[in-house]
Amino acid sequence: MSTTDSLQQHFRHLGLPQEAQAWLLMLWGVIQFFDDVADADHIERHELDAALWNALVSMPDNAFFQQHRSALVPLVANAILKWQASDQAERRKEADAKSFVWRAGYYDIVLSVVSLVHGPATAIAGARDIMSIYGESFDDYIKEFAHA
């Protein structure tokens, strides 16, 4: 199962409305695209086209995003800053447990979306499970940079 399929399955299980799921999945795709750009990974043309369209058209036009823009924009900004902090540590060969945590900013957004949709009590009750959606292990993360 792909990461996108797994995320979608989790989002359905969390009872997120279709527009929230769509926005989160587009955000995931755009994040992965830019991570590939930063790492100079090979990018297929269809991946570029999708990221460009989603970032500039579909995500801002999404009804869930429009309704919750004032909450979501600062969350996305914070996730970007956390990713940049992690990337800086990794490029300096200082990857550690802290930089590993910084990479997981996307899941902070997922948790906040659950709170926006279902309220803080539901988000609190499910916080551990929601944050556990993050699929990368710390050991795999450290191995990735030990061989870089």
C-alpha span between 112 and 109 (Å, rounded): 5
pTM of this structure: 0.92
Which residues of the chain register pLDDT less than 50?
Answer: none
Long-range pairs, 85-94, Cβ under 8 A, ≥24: 87/38, 90/145, 90/148, 93/145, 93/148
**Domains held by the chain: number:** 1
pLDDT (tens digit, 9 = 90+) per residue, 75-113? 999 999 999 999 999 999 999 999 999 998 999 999 999
Domain enclosing residue 106, as ranges: 3-146
